[in-house]
Amino acid sequence: MKAIGENILKLRKDKNLTQENLASMIGVSTQTVSKWENSTNMPDITLLPIIADVFEVTIDELFGRNGRAECCDPNEVFDITCDDLLRNIIKSGENGEEHSVEELLEHFKSCLDDPRTRTGIFNKNVVYYRKKCGGLLLKKPEKGWRSLLTDDRVSSVLKILCDEDFRKALDYIIKNHNTDFTIASLCSKCAIADGEGLARNFEQSELFNKKQIDIGSETVTVYEMCRGDRLFLIFAILTYAVEFDEYECWYTNYRYNGNYYFD
């Protein structure tokens, strides 16, 4: 974000005003305007609406903030983020000067209507984009991509997500906004036979707290969702599992040629 003084200078020149003109319109001295533009002094807060009104801009714009980038409808965040990702993908390519980035962006987005269309930048890092599932940015692991194939932590996570009972129970919990439940109640609602296996996966997933409730004659184990933030990662894994299953390459004769990108 530029200093407010730089923006006042730019806005003044865009309006073809001299420092004297601007000073008289605001009701300050020319020296004051000069100090603003040189960033020697900042305008008093009470003057900001007046200065913004002179330039016919918002106070945010006076400070150099782009309204759309700084504040947008939450429902638009996904599309805005994907557009920015696509712009950077386009800028990274050899596009020449025949078309602007914005023109190429619109062309690119129209091509993405084909469900097979994907783009990626594979180097030390990976950027993957598809209209259906948005964008994915991955930084290369310190030990390289291949290290993921033999990482035991990957196996334990995938084992949990491969368990149909775990996914079925999680679906029921989210759908019904359950906060507290027992393994027995879930097994009953979801027709799950292996309660011990479900409890084991619940604990390994670290999504839940386990509490012992004393009800007098006995103690009941109650689970509660405590790490709902981890669900985003679970759904990201599942999204790309489906993406892998649906993947269709345009180049039917493509074969891995042993390039170094995934070392």
Q: What is the pLDDT of residues 19-54, one digit of tens each?
A: 999 998 888 888 999 989 888 888 888 788 888 888
Q: What is the pLDDT of residues 184-198, one digit of tens each?
A: 888 988 999 999 999
Q: How far is CA 47 from the centre of its chain?
A: 37
The overall average pLDDT reported for the chain is 81
The whole-number pLDDT of residue 155 equals 92
| Gap between the Cα atoms of 122 and 159, Å rounded | 28
Q: Could you give the 3-state DSSP secondary structure of residue 125?
A: coil
The whole-number pLDDT of residue 161 equals 96
Q: What is the pLDDT of residues 201-248, one digit of tens each?
A: 999 999 999 888 887 777 888 888 888 888 989 999 999 999 888 887
The whole-number pLDDT of residue 199 equals 94
DSSP 70: H
Q: Could you give the 3-state DSSP secondary structure of residue 192?
A: coil
pTM greater than 0.85: no
Residue 253 has pLDDT above 50, yes or no: no
Q: Using an 8 Å Cβ cutoff, are 204 and 160 in contact?
A: yes
DSSP 44: P
**Chain position carrying tokens 């300050």:** 28
